[in-house]
C-alpha cells in the first residue's frame, strides 16, 4: 500500500513500485511491448485506474495505442486518432502542473474538436469537496524526446481515492513520463534499426539471387558453348580440351571414333525430325555403354567420339565390343517401324605417358586422327565384304534354265538362296 507521504516528499513505498514499473518498461522488447509496459506501469505506481497511452505518428497526429483499465475504455478509445492541433490546443488550455497538463473540462475541450472522450461513471459530475475528482477532469503527462519533441501523451483518470492527486503523485507521474519518453525513443530507434536490417537483408538476398542467376546464366552459356544442343553431349571444343588435359596428365586412355552407317537413309526416308530422335537414342546408348568418368562427344552429323579414361589395353578392346553391341538392336522412335542403325568404330589406344601442354594437344589430335582412320578402314572393309556377298548371291529376275534338259520336261525353278547377313566386324 502506498503511503500518503508529506507534501513535497515522495514516500519510499511509492518509489519502489515506480522503479519496478520502469524496469519492466526498459526490459520490454519492441515498441508494442514498451507501450503496454508504460500503461501497466502507471497503474502500478500511481492511484489512477484508467491509463491511456497516445503515440505521435508521422504527420503529427496522435493514436491511442494502449489502454490499461476497463473494457469500456478500450472500446471507446483504442486505435482512435487525435489531431495533433487539437492535442496542442488542449494542452495550451490546461492548467500546468509542472510538465503535467490538468483539464477541468476535458469533455468540452475535446468535444469541440470531435475527439472521442470516455466519461467514467465512477466519478461524480459535481461535488462540494474542492479536492474531489470529477467526471470532466483529465490529467495528461506529455512525453518529450530529444529537443523537447513530443513523442506521446499519457492520460490518466479515476484515482482510487476519488481525489485530485497530491504533489508527490504528480511528481511520480512526471518522472515516470520522462523515463517512458526515453524508452519510446529507444524502442523507435530499435524498430527502425530492425526494419533497416530487414531491408538490408532483403536487398542482400535479392543481390545473392541476382548473382546466382547471373552465375547460372553464365554457366548455361558456357555449357551451351561446349556441348551439343541436340544430344547434350560434349562438342568438339570440349572433347579436344579434355582429351589434351588427360594426355598432359599421362592418363592411359582409348579413343573410339564412331560413324553411323545407315543414318542417311533414315533421314531421307523419315525426315530430319525422326533423324534427330535417332541421334538422341544413339547418344543415350553410348552413355549407357561407358563408365561414369568416360567422355562421350558428338562432333556433328552422325559422328561420335568416346574417350575411355584410365583403362588398360585389354579393357579398352573389351569396351570396343560393348560399343559394337550398343548398335546391335534396332531403334524405335515415334511409333515408326524399328530401324537398324549400324556403326563403324575405330580405336586408338594411348598408354600413360606424361606430356607437355603443347605436345599434349598435338598428341590428342593424333589420337583422334588415328581412331578416325581406323574407323574408315573398318568401314571400307565391311563395304568390300558386302560387295563380295552381293556378287556371290546375285539377284535373278527370271528362273534359270538348264540347256541339257529336254524342252518338254520343264521343272519349277529352285528358290534363290537368301543373302547372308553382314557379319564383318
Q: What is the DSSP letter of 148?
A: G
Q: Could you tell me if 92 and 85 are in contact, meaning their C-beta atoms sit under 8 angstroms apart?
A: no
Q: What are phi and psi of 401, to 5 degrees?
A: -120, 140
pLDDT in tens, 16-73: 999 999 999 999 999 999 999 999 999 999 999 999 999 999 999 999 999 999 999 9
CA angle (349, 351, 356) in 5-degree steps:
110
| Helix, strand, coil in percent for the chain, rounding step 5 | 50, 20, 35
What cell does 159 get?
A: 484515482
- Give residue for cell 560387295: 387
What 263-269 contacts at long range (C-beta under 8 Å, 24+ apart), as own/partner pairs, is: 263/302, 263/341, 264/302, 266/339, 266/341
Rg (CA), the chain: 49
**Residues in contact with 333: Cβ distance below 8 Å, sequence separation at least 6, in sequence order:** 274, 277, 278, 281, 339
Q: pTM for this structure?
A: 0.57
What cell does 335 get?
A: 511409333
What cell does 193 get?
A: 534499426
Task: Report the mean per-residue pLDDT for the chain.
Answer: 85
Whose CA is closest to 257, among 366, 354, 381? 366
22-36, 100-114, 125-139, 189-203: lowest mean pLDDT where? 100-114
pLDDT confidence of residue 217? 95
pLDDT in tens, 266-293: 888 888 898 999 999 999 999 999 998 9
Amino acid at each position: 500500500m502506498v503511503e500518503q507521504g508529506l507534501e513535497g516528499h515522495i514516500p519510499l513505498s511509492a518509489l519502489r513500485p515506480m522503479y519496478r514499473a520502469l524496469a519492466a518498461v526498459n526490459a520490454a522488447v519492441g515498441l508494442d511491448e514498451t507501450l503496454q509496459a508504460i500503461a501497466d506501469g502507471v497503474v502500478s505506481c500511481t492511484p489512477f485506474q484508467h491509463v491511456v497511452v497516445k503515440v505521435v505518428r508521422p504527420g503529427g497526429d496522435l493514436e491511442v495505442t494502449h489502454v490499461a483499465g476497463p473494457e469500456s475504455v478500450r472500446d471507446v478509445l483504442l486505435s482512435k486518432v487525435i489531431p495533433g492541433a487539437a492535442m496542442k490546443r488542449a494542452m495550451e488550455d490546461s492548467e500546468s502542473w509542472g510538465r503535467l497538463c490538468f483539464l477541468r473540462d476535458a469533455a468540452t475541450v475535446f468535444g469541440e474538436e470531435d475527439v472521442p472522450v470516455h466519461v467514467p461513471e465512477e466519478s461524480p459530475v459535481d461535488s462540494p469537496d474542492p479536492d474531489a475528482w470529477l467526471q470532466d477532469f483529465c490529467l495528461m503527462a506529455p512525453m518529450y524526446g530529444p529537443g523537447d519533441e513530443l513523442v506521446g501523451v499519457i492520460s490518466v483518470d479515476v484515482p482510487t481515492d476519488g481525489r485530485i492527486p497530491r504533489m508527490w503523485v504528480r511528481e511520480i507521474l512526471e518522472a515516470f513520463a520522462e523515463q517512458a519518453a526515453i524508452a519510446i525513443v529507444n524502442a523507435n530507434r530499435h524498430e527502425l534499426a530492425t526494419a533497416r536490417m530487414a531491408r538490408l537483408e532483403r536487398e542482400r538476398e535479392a543481390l545473392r539471387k541476382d548473382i546466382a542467376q547471373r552465375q547460372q546464366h553464365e554457366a548455361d552459356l558456357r555449357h551451351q558453348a561446349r556441348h551439343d544442343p541436340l544430344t547434350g553431349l560434349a562438342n568438339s571444343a570440349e572433347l579436344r580440351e579434355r582429351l589434351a588435359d588427360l594426355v598432359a596428365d599421362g592418363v592411359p586412355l582409348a579413343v573410339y571414333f564412331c560413324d553411323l552407317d545407315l543414318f542417311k537413309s533414315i533421314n531421307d526416308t523419315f525426315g530430319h525430325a525422326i533423324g534427330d530422335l535417332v541421334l538422341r537414342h544413339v547418344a543415350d546408348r553410348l552413355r549407357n555403354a561407358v563408365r561414369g568418368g568416360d567422355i562421350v562427344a558428338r562432333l556433328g552429323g552422325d559422328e561420335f567420339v568416346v574417350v575411355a579414361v584410365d583403362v588398360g589395353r585389354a579393357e579398352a578392346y573389351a569396351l570396343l565390343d560393348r560399343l559394337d553391341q550398343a548398335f546391335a538392336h534396332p531403334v524405335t522412335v515415334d511409333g515408326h517401324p524399328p530401324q537398324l542403325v549400324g556403326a563403324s568404330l575405330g580405336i586408338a589406344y594411348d598408354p600413360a605417358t606424361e606430356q607437355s601442354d603443347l605436345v599434349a594437344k598435338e598428341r590428342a589430335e593424333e589420337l583422334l586422327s588415328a581412331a578416325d582412320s581406323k574407323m574408315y578402314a573398318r568401314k571400307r572393309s565391311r563395304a568390300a565384304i558386302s560387295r563380295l556377298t552381293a556378287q556371290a548371291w546375285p539377284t535373278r529376275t527370271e528362273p534359270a534354265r538348264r540347256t541339257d534338259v529336254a524342252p518338254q520336261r520343264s521343272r519349277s525353278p529352285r528358290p534363290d538362296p537368301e543373302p547372308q547377313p553382314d557379319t564383318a566386324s
